[in-house]
Amino acid sequence: MLSVSFFQSVVAPAQQLQISSQQFHSSRPQPLVFQVHSKAKTRREDRLARHSRIRKKVEGEILAILDDFLTVPNVSLQMFSFTVWLSNLEPLMIEGTPERPRLSVFRSNKHLYVQVIDDTKMHTLAAASTMQKSISEEFNLTSGPTLEVARKIGEVIAKTCLEKGITKVAFDRGGYPYHGRVEAIADAARELGLQF
């Protein structure tokens, strides 16, 4: 078997081509016969191979940084590990306490959901959504929630919280940008006296 790298790079970069030639038994030369053996991978195998390559690349970069840090005077390995730890930190999750519960917003294409949660007890103290009958009857939600609907949700959650004696909350936008419907919920809740 003879492997040809030209065909791999030009003809089929995603497949491995192998050429086998028949042996010459006579004095006349016979043409080469190409047989293509495909090693087609699934999407999952491709993804796993790509992730493995990226991990190796990142490990190499970390080792290079480590070499640079250790050559600088007065920098210890502890300082390097602290720096790597800081760079790998996930965004901090906002936690709700009994004194200041978390106002969590979830936004989908069709509905808006807002909950006030005490994370220490894992208990939902108040909730409002476009699934509630009072809101779904008042607005037409066929094209999804609008800014008006978001303002109404903010007012409902603020009224519910104030009735239950909750005046301060920690606003958790749930990873959504503070813009549009999320901003409208926050503004409406603030206008009715909820502090965050």
Domain ranges of the chain: 1-40, 43-87, 102-191
Are 92 and 102 contacting, i.e. CB atoms less than 8 angstroms apart? no
Looking at residue 52, its pLDDT comes to 81
pLDDT for the residue 154: 96
Give the sign of the dihedral formed by CA 144, CA 113, CA 92, CA 55: negative
More confident residue, 165 or 175: 165
Please tell me what DSSP assigns to residue 19: E
Could you read off the pLDDT of 111-130 as tens digits, one per residue?
999 999 999 999 999 999 99
pLDDT of residue 79: 53
Residue whose structure tokens are 């106002």: 103
Closest by Cα among 99, 97, 93, 169 to 127: 169
Give me the mean pLDDT over the 2-31 stretch.
48
Degrees to nearest 5, angle at CA 29 with 24 and 33:
75
- State the Cα–Cα distance between residues 161 and 192, nearest whole angstrom: 10
Q: Would you say 128 and 114 are in contact if contact means Cβ atoms under 8 Å apart?
A: yes
Given a cut of 70, whether residue 84 has pLDDT beyond it is no
Structure confidence at residue 34 (pLDDT): 56
Top pLDDT among 90 and 76 is at 76
Q: What is the pLDDT of residue 23?
A: 47
pTM value? 0.54
* Mean confidence (pLDDT) of the chain: 77
102-191 has which fold? Nucleotidyltransferase; domain 5 (3.30.420)
Least confident of 7-16, 41-50, 90-99, 138-147: 7-16
Question: For the segment 18-75, what is each residue's pLDDT rounded down to a tens digit?
Answer: 444 444 455 566 666 555 554 557 888 888 888 788 877 777 777 777 666 666 555 5
Q: Which helix (DSSP H) or strand (DSSP E) does residue 125 occupy?
A: strand 123-129
Q: What percent of the chain has pLDDT over 70?
A: 65
User: Cα(113)–Cα(156) distance, rounded to whole angstroms?
Assistant: 11
Burial of 112 (0-12, 13-18, 19+ CB in 10 A): buried
Tokens for 41, please give them.
Answer: 């991978």
